[in-house]
Amino acid sequence: MLVVNARWPRRRLWLGAALACIGSTAAAAADNNSIPPVIACDRLQSEAGAAMRVSEAQSRPAAGGMAAHCEVIAYLDERTGAEGQKLAIGLHLRLPQAWNGRFVFQGQGGTDGVLGSGDALPGGGQPSALNQGYATVTTDAGHSNAPGPLGGASFGLDPQARIDFGYRADDVVTRQAKRFIQAYYGRLPKYSYFLGCSNGGRHGMVITQRFPEHFDGVAAGAPAFRMPEKGLSGAAVTQGFAAIAPKAPDGRPILSQALSQADMDLLSRAIVQSCDEADGLADGIIDNVPACRFSPRALQCPAEKTASCLSAAQVGALENYFQGPTTAQGRRIYASYPYDSGIATEGWRRWTLGTAPDSRVNAFNVSFGASLAYLYMTPPHAPLANDADAVYDFYRTVDVTEAHARIFGTSAAMPESSVQTISANSVDLSTFRQRRGKLLLYHGVSDPTFSALDTLDWYKRLTNAAGGEKETADFARLFLVPGMNHCAGGPATDSFDVLTPLVAWVEQGRAPERIDARAGAKTPWPDRSRPLCPYPRQARYLGQGSIEQAANFSCAVL
């Protein structure tokens, strides 16, 4: 059974691997004088009212790696949805005994629907925000995922649940969390932050665009800010790969075999060979993304397919993916993808092709077929059977041009299209900026699902709207992470802390000129570190000292 929450295991919500309680530079940013609660935790039960049920308000001693805190679980706007499902906006709040006066909202991945742990992981092996003294909250964004492949999408049949997921939960959860904080500590947070990757990154962008008064700083990773467009583009990409895949006895394409691991290794090596040195250093990392000009046609077999080349059909399917599919009228559905070093990894394959040896497809893109059917299209698709084959059959056969009209479609019941409700594509951040809010964006260049080029395009449009590079860098910076897959993984320095630089930017006016990051144990160079640089700057080797150490690199415009 493939369910949405299984796709985003906890460690992938954030960067880096296990949460190791090591010495924290972030602790230096916290106040020395912590703020104690003014009431007992269980008194927060009295916050309940007609629109909110408090299911839990319990004092928790330090245990299980979490500092002593007051844990609150509450449900707002409980109701029965259009399909008879029980709906509510859940929130999960943790209020530390020793509060640093700050608040962190952790956005979740997938299509939400899971009330996460909510102690907020800042990445880079840093202690959770809770353990650093922050009050933390997370939300299921208005629904709880049901079992089966349709379980993370069926809430989309309810118009209000779409809106709650799209943006409303960000507002009401923030307001309610701040009310709990005020009741518990006798004051509001001095500073409020939002952290999230993928769909959590989308929520971060929603906040800067729709609710700019709620947060002082937002860190948005690999933002799913054009989720319906990407969900549809994924169908066209899947159809391209399915068309070249061998068929199983049941007649369905074996998607995982469209390209073998050896094929992807061949492609990845050719890309690195072609683009690695454009940044001045052959180190297996392509820092100069804009300079990378590559075409898989360079690998096309002159005749029969062999181990050292790709078939014409494979080249065509890859171009369809990298260039980005279009509708029958030639309109691009989503974005193109950069040629980068991290496409031969499991973190790329598990999204695009899956690993299943037969036609029981387990690619994450395909599992999002359910979201296309129920959450992105208006009117929604007719009911599908709640099994993976039905979702695969829908996704690999849906008429992409017709579905394109429906992600922009409206109905009497759904007066907003899903693109209006869910996407967060505006570059009007004027209120956020006026309030001196700071937005820290990051995106893996080898992200197979949400394209780093789409985030880069948005950032360039923001730059135009905001009046120039310097003006934009004063409140919004984009850090590309070469080699990194979706939120983590790949041959990349993918372990870094986003909260500490965000706090320094907001509270001390120290803008992040670089964020030092470490490579993971599974990379070819586990001892490597690198600066991540704010666009348009890139990491540049200073010419002496170990190339494994970030200290020997600067951030420069090449």
CB–CB of 409/419 below 8 Å? no
Nearest distance from C-beta of residue 4 to Ca ion, angstroms: 36
Q: Is 276 in the site for Ca ion (CB under 5 A)?
A: yes
Distance CA 458, CA 476 (A): 11
3-state secondary structure of 493: coil
Pairing verdict, β 135-139 and 102-106: parallel
| Nearer CB in complex with Ca ion: 285/473 | 285
Nearest distance from C-beta of residue 265 to Ca ion, angstroms: 19
The one-character DSSP state at 157 is G
Nearest distance from C-beta of residue 16 to Ca ion, angstroms: 22
| Nearer CB in complex with Ca ion: 284/316 | 284
Distance CA 436, CA 475 (A): 7
Q: Is 279 in the site for Ca ion (CB under 5 A)?
A: yes
27, 163, 248, 281: which one binds Ca ion (CB under 5 A): 281
| Nearer CB in complex with Ca ion: 58/273 | 273
Q: Which window, 114-122, 227-235, 270-278, 467-475, contacts Ca ion (CB under 5 A)?
A: 270-278
> Which residues are annotated as catalytic?
198, 447, 486
Q: Which window, 112-120, 134-142, 268-276, 523-531, contacts Ca ion (CB under 5 A)?
A: 268-276
Nearest distance from C-beta of residue 544 to Ca ion, angstroms: 17
3-state secondary structure of 531: strand
- In this structure, the chain runs to a length of 558
Distance CA 376, CA 423 (A): 10
| Nearer CB in complex with Ca ion: 61/290 | 290
On the CB side of 280, how many CA atoms lie within 13 Å of its CA?
Answer: 14
CB–CB of 208/439 below 8 Å? yes
Q: Which window, 16-24, 269-277, 458-466, 504-512, contacts Ca ion (CB under 5 A)?
A: 269-277
CB–CB of 486/351 below 8 Å? yes
Residue 449 sits at the vertex; the CA angle it makes with 163 and 411, to the nearest 5 degrees, is 30
Q: Which window, 276-284, 334-342, 454-462, 480-488, contacts Ca ion (CB under 5 A)?
A: 276-284
H-run or E-run covering 443: strand 438-444
Give all strands of the β-sheet with 476-481 in edge-to-edge order: 52-60, 69-80, 86-96, 135-139, 102-106, 191-197, 217-221, 438-444, 476-481
Count of helix runs (H) and strand runs (E) in the chain = 17, 13
Phi and psi for 47 in degrees, rounded to 5?
-70, -15
Give the binding-site size for Ca ion (rule: CB under 5 A): 5
Q: Nearest Cα to 91, choosing from 114, 68, 110, 64?
A: 114
Q: Is 283 in the site for Ca ion (CB under 5 A)?
A: yes
Structure tokens at 126: 């840093």
Nearest distance from C-beta of residue 354 to Ca ion, angstroms: 30
What lies within 8 Å, CB to CB, of 127 at 6+ separation is 19, 21, 22, 24, 26, 27
Nearest distance from C-beta of residue 341 to Ca ion, angstroms: 9
What is the per-residue burial (b if ≥16 Cβ within 10 Å, else e) of 469-507?
Answer: eeebbbbbbbbbbbbbbbbbbbbbbbbbbbbbbbbbbbe
| Nearer CB in complex with Ca ion: 291/413 | 291
- Calculate the dihedral angle through the C-alpha atoms of 149, 155, 158, 164, rounding to the nearest 10 degrees: -150
Nearest distance from C-beta of residue 558 to Ca ion, angstroms: 11
Nearest distance from C-beta of residue 281 to Ca ion, angstroms: 5
| Amino acid occupying residue 529 | S
Identify whether 536 is preceded by a cis peptide bond (ω within 30 of 0). Answer: yes
Q: Which window, 79-87, 271-279, 398-406, 500-508, contacts Ca ion (CB under 5 A)?
A: 271-279
| Nearer CB in complex with Ca ion: 349/530 | 530
Q: Which window, 205-213, 278-286, 337-345, 539-547, contacts Ca ion (CB under 5 A)?
A: 278-286
| Nearer CB in complex with Ca ion: 448/482 | 482
Q: Nearest Cα to 322, choosing from 349, 295, 342?
A: 295
Nearest distance from C-beta of residue 537 to Ca ion, angstroms: 15
| Nearer CB in complex with Ca ion: 192/446 | 446
| Nearer CB in complex with Ca ion: 102/540 | 540
Q: Which window, 81-89, 109-117, 191-199, 284-292, contacts Ca ion (CB under 5 A)?
A: 284-292
Which chain residues interact with Ca ion by CB under 5 A? 276, 279, 281, 283, 285
